[in-house]
């Protein structure tokens, strides 16, 4: 199906665009990125297969903390899926904005993985660091537990949470990559302009062959992230699973070993 043209000065044309399923856009993505799409689905499916165990552990624990942690993990997987649907609909800025929430969701899940107090505001020259039970503040709607702060807070608490510096650095790189898609700027302007046809702009979803490498980078970013999510999910599961009880000791004090 060729790219349709609409007259945005006519209400009925805009109505058609609002209800369009962007089939022609999705067909172009499927044609050019079939292998990447298959790899993403395989990697993401492996993550979804780990969710039942995580949900079961959270329910068994029965705490608000574990419920929040499991909800953030599921949200990460769902957001990757929806962000990719937006990409395949040719809506690159919206897709990138949602991928930034994926990064924040991972950080917030980590912050909900402990009952220990965590640093949520760094020490300054005049004020001591603020340490709180993160999940409680989050549950109460505290502004110090907002998503845009989570990655920096994860960095401050990485050692306490058992998160490697490499993992934190990777999340920072991902967030830096997606920040330009989350705010108006030259990146969002370029996303609506045909790169090789002067004067051509797109309304709604589109596929621009000149942006194929950009699309491929976006797919590979998602694939790479999905491939490192299983260890993250196993770590989260371990925080919800109490250690095995030590064997009972029988006998009376003073009995020979």
Mean of the per-residue pLDDT values for the chain?
Answer: 91
Residue partners of 127: CB distance under 8 A and separation at least 6: 121
Determine if the pTM surpasses 0.75.
Answer: yes
Residue partners of 107: CB distance under 8 A and separation at least 6: 150, 151, 153, 154, 171
The answer, yes or no, to whether residue 249 has pLDDT greater than 60, is: no
CA dist 188 and 92 (Å) reads: 8
Which is more confident, 168 or 191?
168
Q: Write out pLDDT tens, residues 83-111.
A: 999 999 999 999 999 999 999 999 999 99
Q: Write out pLDDT tens, residues 28-62.
A: 999 999 999 999 999 999 999 999 999 999 999 99
Query: What's the confidence (pLDDT) of residue 254?
Result: 46
Query: What's the confidence (pLDDT) of residue 127?
Result: 86
What percent of the chain shows pLDDT beyond 70?
93
CA dist 146 and 101 (Å) reads: 12
């Amino acid at each position: 199906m060729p790219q349709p043209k609409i007259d945005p000065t006519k209400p009925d044309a805009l109505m058609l665009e609002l209800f369009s399923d962007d089939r022609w856009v999705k067909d172009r993505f499927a044609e050019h990125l079939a292998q990447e799409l298959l790899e993403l689905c395989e990697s993401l499916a492996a993550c979804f297969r780990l969710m039942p165990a995580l949900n079961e552990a959270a329910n068994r624990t029965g705490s608000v903390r574990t419920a929040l942690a499991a909800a953030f993990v599921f949200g990460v997987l769902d957001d990757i899926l929806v962000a990719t649907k937006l990409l395949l609909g040719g809506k690159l800025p919206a897709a990138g904005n949602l991928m930034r929430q994926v990064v924040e969701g991972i950080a917030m899940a980590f912050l909900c993985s402990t009952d220990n107090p965590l640093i949520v505001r760094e020490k300054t020259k005049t004020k001591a660091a603020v340490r709180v039970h993160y999940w409680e503040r989050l549950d109460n709607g505290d502004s110090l537990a907002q998503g845009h702060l989570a990655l920096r807070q994860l960095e401050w608490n990485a050692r306490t949470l058992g998160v490697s510096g490499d993992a934190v650095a990777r999340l920072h790189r991902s967030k830096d990559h997606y920040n330009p898609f989350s705010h108006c700027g030259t990146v969002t302007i370029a996303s609506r302009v045909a790169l090789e046809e002067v004067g051509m702009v797109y309304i709604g979803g589109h596929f621009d062959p000149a942006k194929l490498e950009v699309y491929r980078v976006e797919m590979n970013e998602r694939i790479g992230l999905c491939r490192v999510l299983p260890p993250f999910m196993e770590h989260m599961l371990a925080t919800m699973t109490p250690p095995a009880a030590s064997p009972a000791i029988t006998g009376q004090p003073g009995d020979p070993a």
